[in-house]
């Protein structure tokens, strides 16, 4: 116990051991952080991914190529030596099987030496019967240690072959053969060295080329990235990606990005216009409310006429603000796809006649007439469709002079129902037709508050979209406008 405490004290006192212990504890965390950063970089860097993938493929291909080359070369170089060893083994076996005569092998000694053969024959007693090398040489000692199971054994520059036979008397002999293959061995060695050197070098070259070519191939992407980073909300109207000499997929990518920037610019401009117009619409009623509040504060308590005028004005302005806010809320709900439709089957002509009666009560300075009024039913949200048609009629009334005519009709075919609102008012220019469904947009640039909030047609378009319907408008300035509401008779089929 005391010894252990002393060891701990020594460790605390020895700064080298403390440092070593800190390194051992810190090393796994360091390695983990290095791998983490490497994989994060690899995940981000496309060039690295391409290079590593190519390197892995090339490494697998290179390893397979090395194996194939070495295998084929060894077979073509070593097979003749194996064949020679088996040939001479068969010859010697045939000599030993009959009445063995040493002179027969002695006569073949020159042939054996010219074939670079080392031969030793040992009987079952372990005595040497015949050999063409000295029994005291190291070559002999190596030769007789080869397994006599008729398997080819290569050791350096010599190939060995050994086996056991029996003569016709039942006596057994061990035949040991070795063949020198110096020239073929050095040829095979040089070939292996070349293969083991060239293919890894080729892999390294491929990695370098992959990195460089990846950088060149991806340089247009980096250029696009740099240009895109410079685009801000303030400069989006002035800056677009340059196509220059781009071709193929890069050119297509630039065109798609530029189209996206155009849409973003349109969205920003619409947002700015919406904020500006909403502020304008709310500014006037707030100013009126403030003015009449001041009047009430000064004279309203004593002057009944001022009191009545102020209350009426405040009521109208608050009603206007309420309608404006309700319209904005409707558009917001619809934009978020939270519109809750109550689909029912009803006669569209009955709804249109109901709207006409309501309109005649409030509009006595326009001629409201009807055309074809076909009886048919549709599947839709009745209240929303009523609001949509009212917007279309109100819009026609606003832009039709006194004593002008507004003609309403409805009809159907096998698949669709139609409501047509036609007037002989001031009409709409081609330029304004492109924008009439935008919020707060008016063909009347003066933006007179007497013409409404500028949200009516935006709401009509949103209601039509929720019913998969279309609002088709044709108009010419000075010749009136024709609005055709096209709806599916069956709401379920309209969703397909």
**Does the fold of domain 261-332 match that of domain 45-220?**
no
pLDDT in tens, 235-274: 777 778 787 777 788 888 888 888 888 888 887 877 776 6
Q: What is the mean pLDDT of the chain?
A: 80
What would the CATH number be for the domain defined by 339-494? 3.30.565.10
Sequence length of the chain is: 496
Distances (CA, A) of 189 to 69, 116, 121, 358, 459: 13, 19, 32, 105, 86
Query: How far apart are alpha carbons 474 and 462 in whole angstroms?
Result: 19
Confidence class for position 162, pLDDT limits 50, 70, 90: very high
Confidence (pTM): 0.45
| Contact by Cβ (8 Å): 273, 440 | yes
Helices in 98-126 by DSSP H: which ranges? 102-107, 109-114
Paired tokens of 246: 């781009």
Query: How far apart are alpha carbons 94 and 87 in whole angstroms?
Result: 11
Query: How far apart are alpha carbons 120 and 141 in whole angstroms?
Result: 10
Q: Which of 461, 482, 463 is nearest to 471 (CA)?
A: 461
| Contact by Cβ (8 Å): 409, 348 | no
Mean local confidence (pLDDT), 143-156:
88
The CATH fold of domain 45-220: Beta-Lactamase (3.30.450)
The domains of the chain are located at: 1-35, 45-220, 261-332, 339-494
What would the CATH number be for the domain defined by 261-332? 1.10.287.130
pLDDT in tens, 168-219: 888 899 999 999 888 888 888 888 888 888 888 887 887 777 777 766 777 7
Share of the chain above pLDDT 90, in %: 16
Confidence class for position 407, pLDDT limits 50, 70, 90: very high
pLDDT in tens, 313-338: 787 778 767 777 776 676 666 654 54
Contacts of residue 97, defined as CB under 8 A and 6 or more positions apart, other chains included, come to 165, 166, 167, 168
């Amino acid at each position: 116990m005391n010894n252990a405490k002393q060891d701990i004290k020594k460790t605390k006192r020895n700064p080298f051991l403390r440092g070593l212990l800190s390194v051992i504890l810190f090393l796994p965390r360091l390695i983990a952080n290095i791998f983490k950063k490497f994989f994060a970089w690899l995940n981000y860097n496309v060039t690295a991914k391409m290079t590593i993938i190519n390197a892995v493929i090339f490494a697998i291909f290179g390893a397979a190529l090395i194996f194939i080359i070495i295998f084929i070369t060894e077979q073509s170089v070593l097979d003749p030596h194996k064949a020679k060893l088996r040939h001479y083994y068969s010859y010697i076996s045939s000599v030993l099987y009959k009445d063995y005569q040493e002179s027969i092998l002695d006569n073949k000694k020159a042939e054996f030496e010219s074939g670079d053969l080392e031969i030793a024959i040992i009987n079952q007693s372990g005595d040497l019967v015949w050999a063409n090398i000295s029994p005291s040489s190291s070559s002999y000692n190596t030769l007789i240690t080869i397994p006599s199971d008729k398997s080819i054994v290569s050791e350096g520059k010599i190939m060995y072959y050994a086996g056991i036979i029996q003569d016709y008397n039942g006596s057994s002999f061990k035949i040991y053969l070795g063949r020198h293959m110096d020239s073929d061995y050095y040829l095979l060695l040089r070939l292996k060295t070349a293969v083991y050197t060239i293919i890894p070098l080729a892999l390294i070259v491929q990695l370098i080329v992959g990195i460089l070519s990846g950088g060149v191939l991806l340089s247009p992407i980096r250029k696009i990235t740099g240009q895109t980073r410079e685009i801000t909300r303030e400069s989006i109207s002035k800056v677009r990606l340059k196509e220059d000499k781009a071709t193929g997929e890069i050119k297509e990518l630039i065109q798609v990005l530029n189209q996206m920037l155009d849409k973003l610019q349109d969205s920003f401009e619409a947002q700015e216009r919406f904020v500006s117009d909403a502020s304008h619409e709310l500014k006037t009623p707030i100013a009126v409310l403030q003015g009449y509040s001041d009047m009430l504060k000064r004279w309203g308590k004593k002057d009944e006429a001022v009191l009545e005028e102020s209350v009426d004005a405040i009521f109208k302005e608050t009603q206007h603000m309420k309608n404006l806010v309700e319209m904005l809320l409707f558009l917001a709900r619809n934009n978020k796809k939270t519109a809750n439709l109550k689909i029912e089957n009803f006669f569209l002509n009955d709804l249109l006649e109901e709207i006409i009666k309501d309109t005649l009560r409030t509009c006595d300075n326009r001629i409201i007439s009807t055309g074809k009024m076909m009886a048919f039913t549709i599947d839709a949200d009745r209240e929303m469709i009523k609001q949509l048609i009212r917007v279309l009629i109100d819009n026609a009334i606003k832009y039709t002079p006194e004593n002008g005519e507004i003609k309403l009709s409805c009809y159907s075919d096998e698949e669709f129902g139609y409501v047509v609102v036609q007037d002989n008012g001031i009409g709409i220019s081609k330029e304004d037709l492109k924008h009439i469904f935008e919020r707060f947009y008016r063909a009347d640039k003066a933006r007179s508050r007497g013409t409404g909030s500028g949200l009516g047609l935006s709401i009509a378009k949103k209601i039509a979209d929720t019913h998969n319907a279309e609002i088709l408008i044709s108009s010419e300035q000075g010749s009136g406008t024709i609005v055709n509401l096209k709806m599916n008779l069956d709401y379920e089929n309209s969703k397909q």
